[in-house]
Amino acid sequence: MKVDIAIPRTKFDFFTYNAQDNLQVGDLVLVPLRNKLKYGIVIKINSQRYINGIKDVKELIEEKFISKNLLKLYKWIADYYLSTLGEVLRLTVPSKILKKYEPIEKPAALPSLVKTSVPTYPQSNVIKRILGALKTNYFKTFLLYGITGSGKTEVYLRCVDEVVKKGGRALILVPEISMTHLIYKRFHERFGNDVVTIHSSLSDKERKRLWYAIKQGEYRIIIGPRSAIFVPIKDLKIIIVDEEHDHSYKEHDRMPRYNARDVAVMRGKFENIVVVLGSATPQIESFRNAGIGKYQLLTLKERIDNRSLPEVEIIDLKKENRKFISPDLELKIEETLKKNEQIILFLNRRGFAPNLICPFCGFVAKCPYCNLPMVYHKPGKKESASLSCHICSYKSKKISICPNCARGTLLYRGAGTQRIEEMVNKIVKRLALNHGQIDEPIVLRLDRDIARKRGQAEKIFNIFEQGRAKVLLGTQLVTKGLDFPEVTLVGIVNADVILNFPDFRSSERTFQILTQVAGRSGRGKKPGKVLMQTYHPEQYSILFSQLQNYPKFYSQEMKFRKELNFPPFSKLILLRFKGEDEKAVWNQAEKIFAILSRMQNIKAFGPNNSFYYKIRKKYRVFILLKTPKTFRHGKLRFLNSYKTKNCTLDIDVDPLEVF
């Protein structure tokens, strides 16, 4: 018989082979490809006849390796994201296939420690609606819009409980690997050893074994970041996407540039199951989908136990003489420490200072590969002081004297988490000296420099949760879904970091992050307070995040989107050209621009140089395509044939960043 076989890690949808055996769609086989044997998946039976002149399938490895529904999903991803099945399979099946399944030894079951709390009235209402849909066994997507602290996790737990009782399985997506263990803890307390997390910081071997174990049906509840959406799960009944607005759900590196939230909805459709998207700050498109009935909206308008949202005060940095920590924020930090309560400080910039500048000639230390300012990092326990490019990760030794004019010492400009850490430590020390009443207060810093080390984020969250440290300071990692009831002060050191990006989503992102981080305050019995430092107190995303009012932000943002015809009113596709030969990159972009401008229903903008024009010696130029929402963009797959040696082309459908 003649069969089409998709082979992982190729740039093609499929290859055609002859097969002696009686193969079926979804089978895993071994086939020859360019003098090597490769694993592949049968995606189509073309003809029952044996065809001469094409190669034979070598061996059938496993029948029904991938279910029909998952295969449909993979094909959809390839089509929608203008990629190929070969590229999609790279993400979805382990790099080396296990020939024989070895069961995993689970640790002994722990007794359930946690008393299940009684859901509040609004929670019960929401749970009832989801359970109703679960009973029907049909596809349905819910958008659970619940303000920070309204108890969304309890809703998830209840729904999963119902699914598990009926013999089904549940998949829970979280935005960050560092968050998997926080949510794992909640589920593990309730469900014991039926819960597992799968993510990319496991070793290849561990991950592969888990993948097989889950496929065999060993676990009932699977938790993981975006790549977990592809894991084969028997009797899957519900997919929950927590913090659905989070940009970490988008693959930002390689094709296919999928968004796991949207893939989750499509998986729900193909598997005919329930999908729950949860957020306190839904992505504009999601809230719109709920508005037009594509999703069903569920709302939790109040914090549990009638707790109030924290009071948010804006501090205008223009009036604060360029201080990184204003006197008001400093005072509040002191007060909170004296009361022995906890603090979260947020600054979306790691390192000590984002710039090193010469006060005499204006020289700025820049990355030789990207031509962007290098960030100064203080020496750590094991690392020496360095300058680091946050775009390409190039590092060099710290320089002190200006290499340009040699007239003096370079100065630090701006502040990153390390610098704020130093300042807060000074406050802490002073307090300990003056008052002597605070027991060993520790400031913990959490950013990518620290979270990179395996298990480190988990350790920090644990210390903070036990109250052994009083201040948690960090980048976006401290904004996401954390639930520490003793935190009564959140300080936003600089609310403007994202606002300054030239992107149509920068207001939305700013609103989301500020509202999320503000929401970490006052989640326990004591009321919370938030201080937000900004140079733009009048900007609407800052104002509405001060009010923590999503609906008002949504309607303002929708006006702006409509006026400029941005999503959800149109569809965007970003084409990014990259190469070391500047001229070749521009030529290729111009060539494709000419082709696209002749096509109907497409508005092409560009080519333009990217905000980061040069990264790792490669020039970056982009074209932005705007099409009507109904446009069948699948026809643009022909663009893949325009990738050349001198110029790569990265195609991003529904991009989250357009610069």
Contacts with Zn ion by CB under 5 A lie at 358, 360-361, 363, 367, 369-370, 389, 391-392, 394, 402, 404-405
Cβ proximity to Zn ion, 45 vs 391, nearer residue: 391
Q: How far is the CB of 388 from Zn ion (least distance, A)?
A: 9
Cβ proximity to Zn ion, 76 vs 394, nearer residue: 394
Q: How far is the CB of 390 from Zn ion (least distance, A)?
A: 8
Cross-strand pairs, 313 = 531
Burial (CB count within 10 angstroms: exposed 0-12, middle 13-18, buried 19+), residue 49:
exposed
Q: How far is the CB of 624 from Zn ion (least distance, A)?
A: 24
Cβ proximity to Zn ion, 72 vs 616, nearer residue: 616
Say whether 396 sits in a helix, a strand or coil.
Answer: strand
C-alpha 198/C-alpha 211 separation (Å) is 8
Q: How far is the CB of 367 from Zn ion (least distance, A)?
A: 3
Cβ proximity to Zn ion, 404 vs 640, nearer residue: 404
Cα→Cα distances 227→66, 194, 217, 280, 322, Å: 16, 20, 18, 23, 42
Closest CA to 486 of 337, 334, 280: 337
Q: How far is the CB of 372 from Zn ion (least distance, A)?
A: 6
Q: How far is the CB of 610 from Zn ion (least distance, A)?
A: 14
Cβ proximity to Zn ion, 644 vs 648, nearer residue: 648
Closest CA to 597 of 629, 633, 576, 624: 624
Q: How far is the CB of 371 from Zn ion (least distance, A)?
A: 8
C-alpha 406/C-alpha 528 separation (Å) is 50
Q: How far is the CB of 359 from Zn ion (least distance, A)?
A: 8
Cβ proximity to Zn ion, 104 vs 364, nearer residue: 364
Place of tokens 């809703």: 155
Question: In sequence order, which residues have a C-beta less than 8 Å from that of residue 351 and are 6 or more positions away?
Answer: 375, 376, 377, 388, 390, 416, 417, 418, 449
Q: How far is the CB of 584 from Zn ion (least distance, A)?
A: 21
Q: How far is the CB of 395 from Zn ion (least distance, A)?
A: 10
Cβ proximity to Zn ion, 358 vs 423, nearer residue: 358
Question: What are 358's two structure tokens?
Answer: 């010469």
Cβ proximity to Zn ion, 160 vs 389, nearer residue: 389
Say whether 112 sits in a helix, a strand or coil.
Answer: coil
Half-sphere exposure of residue 507, counting CA atoms within 13 Å on the CB side? 19
Cβ proximity to Zn ion, 233 vs 615, nearer residue: 615
- What ranges in 436-505 are assigned the alpha helix state H? 448-451, 456-465
Q: How far is the CB of 366 from Zn ion (least distance, A)?
A: 8
Cβ proximity to Zn ion, 396 vs 601, nearer residue: 396
Inter-residue contact 177 to 549 (CB < 8 Å): no
Q: How far is the CB of 389 from Zn ion (least distance, A)?
A: 3
Cβ proximity to Zn ion, 375 vs 469, nearer residue: 375
Question: In sequence order, which residues have a C-beta less than 8 Å from that of residue 473 and are 6 or more positions away?
Answer: 344, 345, 346, 347, 417, 420, 421, 424, 443, 444, 445, 446
Burial (CB count within 10 angstroms: exposed 0-12, middle 13-18, buried 19+), residue 480:
buried
Cβ proximity to Zn ion, 139 vs 363, nearer residue: 363
Burial (CB count within 10 angstroms: exposed 0-12, middle 13-18, buried 19+), residue 110:
exposed
Say whether 310 sits in a helix, a strand or coil.
Answer: coil
Closest CA to 557 of 566, 548, 246: 566
Q: How far is the CB of 414 from Zn ion (least distance, A)?
A: 18
C-alpha 93/C-alpha 87 separation (Å) is 11
Q: Give backbone dihedrals phi and psi of 237, rounded to 5 degrees, phi first.
A: -120, -20
Q: How far is the CB of 103 from Zn ion (least distance, A)?
A: 46
Burial (CB count within 10 angstroms: exposed 0-12, middle 13-18, buried 19+), residue 403:
exposed
Closest CA to 487 of 459, 461, 452: 461
C-alpha 116/C-alpha 391 separation (Å) is 45
Cβ proximity to Zn ion, 101 vs 612, nearer residue: 612
Cβ proximity to Zn ion, 44 vs 617, nearer residue: 617
Cβ proximity to Zn ion, 188 vs 390, nearer residue: 390
Q: How far is the CB of 365 from Zn ion (least distance, A)?
A: 11
Q: How far is the CB of 416 from Zn ion (least distance, A)?
A: 16
Place of tokens 């893939």: 263
Segments of 347-486 assigned E as strands: 355-357, 375-377, 386-388, 395-397, 411-413, 443-446, 471-474
Chain-centre distance of CA 367, in angstroms? 27
- What ranges in 145-229 are assigned the alpha helix state H? 152-165, 177-191, 204-215
Cβ proximity to Zn ion, 363 vs 659, nearer residue: 363
Give the chain's length.
659
